[in-house]
Structure 1
C-alpha cells in the first residue's frame, strides 16, 4: 500500500466524526434538508418526508425527532417566524433558507423539546449552520438563538454557569 492509498488523518477524522453522530444530530441534519425543500421549493410536507426517508443514511437518524422537527416547524411556521423576526437585523426574507431553517429548528426545540438542554439546542444549531450554511451564518444563528433561549427558557439559561457572571468570593 502506497502513501497515496492510505487515508489522511483528516479523512480518518471526518469518518470518525460521521460515525460519532448521534441519531438526533442526524435527525436535525435531515430535518434541515427537508425544511430547505419546503422553504425553497414549497414542496408538500408529505412529499418531502417521503423523499427524505429514502436518502442514504436516514436509517441512522431518530425518525421520531425528524418527524417532530419537520412537521412541527412547517405547521408552526408563522409562530416560529414571529419569534425569530424581532431578533433579526434584516428582513426575514433576506435570510438564507439554511439560516431560516436552522432558526426554525432551534426555536421549535426550545419550545417543544424540553428534554434537550438549551445549550445542546444552541450548539447543534450552530453546527448545522457551519455544515450547511454560509461562511459566518453560524455566528448569526448563535446570536439570534441565544436571545431566543433567554426568552423561551429563562430559568434554564439563568441557571447555566457560563451565563452567570464570574463567581466572587466574599471579602474576608
Structure 2
C-alpha cells in the first residue's frame, strides 16, 4: 500500500479516536487501544496515527481556541464529526509543518465528505482556509510568489 493511503488511513483512525473521545470522554490510552483493534488498522501509518491522536487530544482547549474565531457559533453546537475534523485539521496545521497546508485541508475535506453531514465539507473547508491564512501565512505567501 502506498504511503499516501497509509497516511489517509491514519487520519481516518485518528478521527475515529477523537470522535470517540468527544462522545465517551474515555482516556487517551483506552481510546488508542480500542482504535488499534479495528479491522484494517494494520494498514494505517501507526506513527502518524499516534502522533495525530495524542497531539490533538492533549491540546483540545488550545486547538479549539485557534478555530473558534472562525465558526460563528459555540463549539459545543458543532456536530461531533465536524468538531473532531476541525480539531485534527487545526492540530496538523499548527504542528505538521512538513505537510503542505493544502494537503491538510484536502484531507480534512475528504474526511468530512466521508463521515460528516451533507454540507459539512464546505464548512470545514471555510474554517480551515481562514485558519491556514493565520497559521501558515509564510507558506501561503511563498506559494503565491513562486
- TM-score above 0.5, yes or no: yes
Query: Where does structure 1 differ by over 4 angstroms across 4 or more consecutive aligned residues?
Result: none
Q: Can you list the C-alpha shifts for 1:126-147, whole angstroms capped at 9, x where unaligned?
A: 0000000000000000000000
Q: Scaled by the length of structure 2, what TM-score is found? A: 0.94
Query: Structure 1 residue 158: deviation in Å?
Result: 2.0
Three-state SS of the structure 1 residue aligned to 2:97 is: coil
Structure number with the higher helix fraction is 2
Structure number, greater radius of gyration: 1
2:98 & 2:55 partners in 1: Cα distance?
16
Partner deviation per Cα, 1:101-136 (whole Å, 9 max, x = no partner): 111111111111111100000000000000000000
RMSD: 1.3
Displacement of 1:160 after TM fit? Answer: 2.7
How many residues are treated as equivalent by the alignment? 144
* TM-score, with length taken from structure 1: 0.80
Gaps of 5+ in 2: none
Q: CA deviation at 1:28?
A: 0.3
Higher relative contact order (CA 8 A, sep 6+): 2
